[in-house]
Amino acid sequence: MTAAAVTAARVPPDTAGRWWRGHRADTLLALVAAPAMVFLFALYLLPVGLLLQQSVEGGSLAPYEKALTDGLYVGVLFDTMLIAAYVSVACLLLGYPVAYFLTAAPAPWPTIGIVFILLPFWTSILVRTYGWMILLGRNGIINRLLLETGLISTPFPMLNNTTGVLIGMTHVLLPYMVFPIYAVMRRVDLGLLSAAEGLGAPGWQIFRRVYFPLTLPGVLAGVTLVYILSIGFFITPALLGGGKVIMIAVLIEMQVRQFLNWSFAAALSAVLLTATLLVYLVLRRLFRSDLQWS
Amino acid sequence: MELSANSRGRRRRRIRPWHIGLYVWCGLVFLFLMAPLIVVFPISFSSSAYLQFPPPGWSLRWYTAFIDDTAWIDATVRSLNVAAATTVLSTVLGTMLAFSIVRGKFLGRSMINQISMLPLIVPVIVYSIAVYGLFAQLQLIGNWQAIVLGHTVHAIPFVLILVGAALRTYDVNFEQAAMSLGASRLTAIRRVTLPQIRPALVSAMFLAFISSFDELVVAMFLGGSNMTLPKKMFDNIINAIDPTIAAVSVLQIVLVTGVLIVVSKIGAGASPTA
C-alpha cells in the first residue's frame, strides 16, 4: 500500500485523465459511478437518515434530553469514552515499540512480526473473544498459572468485568494502532538520528526531540482510529463484559431489541455518530493528506 | 542517501541494552496477540465437555459434533453464500467506482469518494439498526440476500481503496496501445487493464469475502432466525460454552491462514505493508 502510494505521487496527476478527454468522457465516467451511488444512497444514506429523523419525531427533543441529562445514560456515555481512552493508551504503549521493531529489527524478524499481527487481525473477533474466555476465566489458564505459582491465593476476576473488556478490545484494536505508526516510521530518515548522535545528543534526547516528533503523525492517526472504533464497539463488551459493562453500542442494541424504543435508540445513535465524526474531522484537520486505515 | 544507508547499517550492528528491553517487550506483545488463537487448538481436541486445561484426554468429538449438527452446517453454508455474493457485488460496484473516481474529473467526484468511505467511519451498530428499521418495514428481515446488501455497503470501501490505488499507478498507455490496435474501450479494459491490476483485485476480493464472512452485527439484525456462522457462534458463546465452538474456531483459523498465504502469493495491498 505504502509503496503504491509513493509511486502514485510520482506519476503526473493528469496521466490518467489524458486518455478520455472532454465532457463526453467525463459524463460517461460519472455514469460508471452511478450504480454504486444509487446502491449507497438507497442502502446507506437513506436508512441512516430515516433513523436520525426518528430521534426528533413529533418535533420533540425529549430523547436527546433523556440521553444527555439522565444520570444513568450520562454514566454510560462517560464509561464509553473512558474505556475508549484506556484502550487507546494501552494500544499506544503496546503498539509503538512493535511498530519500531518492525522497521528496525534484522531480516527475518519484521516479516514474522507482521504475520503475528495479520493472523489475529484476520481471524474472526468471535474466535478471539472465545480464546480470551478460555484464558481469562475464573478457572482459566491465566488464573490457574497464577494460583499454581503462588502469586495469588484467590482467582483474579478478569471476565465479565471492565478488565476483560479492556483486554479484549486492546487485542482487537492493536493492529489499527501499529499500521499507521509503522507506515510513518518507515519514512523517517534514520540519517537524522545519526546526525543528532553525532552532535552529541544522548539517546533519550534523540528519541524525545527527534524521533518521536517525526513519528507523531502516525501516533495521532493511530490513536484517533482506535478511539473512533472503540466508542462504537459492540461485540467485545457484549461478550467479555457479561452484561455488566454497558457501552453505548450495547445500550443502543438493548433499546432496539428489548425495549423497542426507537426514538431513544435513534437519539443515542445521533450522539454516537456526532462524537465519531467530530473526532474524525479533528483528525482530518490535523492531516490534510489521505487518511486511510492502511 | 549513500551516507544514511551506511550509518543505518552501522546502527543496526551495535546492540544496546535498550534493544534487549525492546525485543522482550515486543515478544510479550506478540504472545498477547497470538495467545487467544493458540489456546483454542488444545481445547478443540479435548475429550471433556468442560473448559478444562490441560484437557483430560484427546478426541475429535467436537469436530464430529460440528459436522453432524445441521444447524452449524446450515449457518456455515449460509455464511459462505452471503460472503460469496457480497464479494461479487462489492467487487463489481467498487471497481466501477474506482475507475470513475480515479479517471474522472467531473464535479462532485471527491464527494462521491467521501460518501463511499463513510461506512468505514460510521459505527456498525448505528448502521445496523438503521437498515434493520428500513428492512423491517419492507419485510426483508430473514432473507440472506438482505444480509448481502448490508455487507456490500461495508465491503465497497475496501475495494475502492485497493483497486483505486492500483489504477492510480497503472500506465494508461497500455490501454491506449490496445485501442490503437483496434480494440474497443471495453475490450481494452477487460483484456489489458483488468489483468494488469489483478493482484489488487484479488486482495480486494479477499478483504470483501473475509469482512462479510466474519461480520456479526449487521447479520444479527437482518438475519432474523436465519443465522450466519458468526451469529451461531455468538449465541453459542453467550448461552453454553461447549467446545464445538473451539473446533469451529480452529477451522476458521486454518482457513484464514490458508487464504492469507494464497493472497500473499498472488495478491497485492492486502496487508498494509506490501
Of B172, B175, B245, the CB nearest to A130: B245
> Is the Cβ of A235 closer than 8 Å to some Cβ of chain B?
yes
Q: Is the pLDDT of residue A241 over 70?
A: yes
Q: Which of A32-41, A266-275, B49-58, B142-151 has the lowest mean pLDDT?
A: B49-58
Lowest mean per-residue pLDDT among A19-23, A235-239, B132-136, B210-214: A19-23
| Rounded average pLDDT over B163-168 | 92
Q: Identify residue B110 by its one-letter amino acid code.
A: S
Mean pLDDT of B134-158: 94
Q: What letter represents residue A171's amino acid?
A: H
ipTM: 0.85
Q: Which chain A residues contact residue B40 at CB under 8 A?
A: 127, 130-131, 134
pLDDT-based confidence at residue B6 (cuts at 50, 70, 90)? very low
Please give the Cα distance from B271 to B268 (Å, whole number). Answer: 8
Examine the pLDDT at A19 and tell me if it is beyond 50: no
Q: Which of 183-222 (A) contact B at CB < 8 A? A: 183, 189-191, 193-194, 203
Most confident segment among A86-90, B104-108, B135-139:
A86-90
Would residue B272 count as lying in a domain? no
* Cell numbers standing for residue B219: 447479520
Yes or no: say if B200 and B162 are a contact pair by the CB < 8 Å rule. yes
Q: Over chain B, what is the mean pLDDT?
A: 87
Q: Is there a domain that residue B95 lies in?
A: yes
Q: What pLDDT, on the 0 to 100 scale, is given for residue A288? A: 57
CB contact (8 A) between residue A8 and residue B233: no
For testing contact with chain B, the best of A6, A15, A39 (most B CBs within 10 A): A39
Per-residue pLDDT, B215: 94
> According to CATH, what is the number of the domain A64-286?
1.10.3720.10
Asked whether the predicted pLDDT for residue A293 surpasses 80, the reply is: no
Buried/exposed A83-122: b ≥16 CB within 10 Å, e otherwise? bbebbbebbbebbbbbbbbbbbbeeeebeebbbbbbbbbb
C-alpha span between B126 and B141 (Å, rounded): 17
Residues of chain A with CATH 1.10.3720.10: 64-286
Residues in chain B within 8 Å Cβ distance of A142: none
Chain B contact for A273 (CB, 8 A cutoff): yes
Q: Of chain A residues 18-77, which have a CB less than 8 A from chain B?
A: 18-20, 26-27, 29-30, 32-33, 35-37, 39-40, 43-48, 50-51, 54
Domain membership of residue B213 (yes or no) is yes
In chain B, how many domains are there? 1
Chain segment A156-197, per-residue pLDDT in tens: 889 889 999 999 999 999 999 999 999 999 988 888 888 888
Please tell me the predicted confidence (pLDDT) of residue B268: 63
Half-sphere exposure of residue B37: CA atoms within 13 angstroms, side-chain side: 23
Range of the domain at B154: 62-266
Distance of alpha carbon A76 from the chain centroid? 19
Phi and psi, residue B58, nearest 5°: -115, 145
Inter-chain touch B36–A141, beta carbons under 8 Å: no
* Distance in angstroms (rounded) separating the CA atoms of residues A287 and A265: 33
pLDDT recorded at residue A290:
47
Which region, left, alpha or beta, applies to residue A202 given φ > 0 means left and ψ of -120 to 50 means alpha? Answer: beta
CA distance B225 to chain A (A): 14
Shortest alpha-carbon distance between residue A182 and chain B (Å): 9
| C-beta atoms of A2 and B214 within 8 A | no
Please check the confidence at residue B224 and state whether its pLDDT lies above 70. yes
In chain B, which residue's Cα lies nearest the Cα of A270? B126
- Among A77, A123, A173, which would you mutate to test the B interface (most chain B Cβ atoms within 10 Å of its Cβ)? A123
Cell 473448559 belongs to B51
- Give the CATH number for residue B194: 1.10.3720.10
Chain A residue numbers with beta carbons less than 8 Å from the beta carbon of B126 are 48, 51, 232, 252, 269, 272-273
C-alpha cell at B14: 551495535
Determine the distance in angstroms separating the CA of A219 from the nearest CA of chain B, rounded to an integer. 16
B97–A33 C-beta distance less than 8 A: yes
> What is the chain A residue with the closest CA to B156?
A36
pLDDT reading at A11 higher than 70: no
Looking at the partner chain, which of B96, B124, B132 has a beta carbon nearest the beta carbon of A36? B96
The residue with cell 458468526 is: B230
Closest-CA distance of chain A to residue B187, Å: 15
Does the distance separating the beta carbons of B233 and A126 come in below 8 Å? yes
Task: Give the pLDDT score at A14.
Answer: 55
What is the pLDDT at residue A6? 43
Over residues A95-128, the pLDDT tens digits come to 999 999 999 888 889 989 998 999 999 899 999 9
Size of interface A-B (CB pairs under 8 A): 291
Share of chain B above pLDDT 70, in %: 91
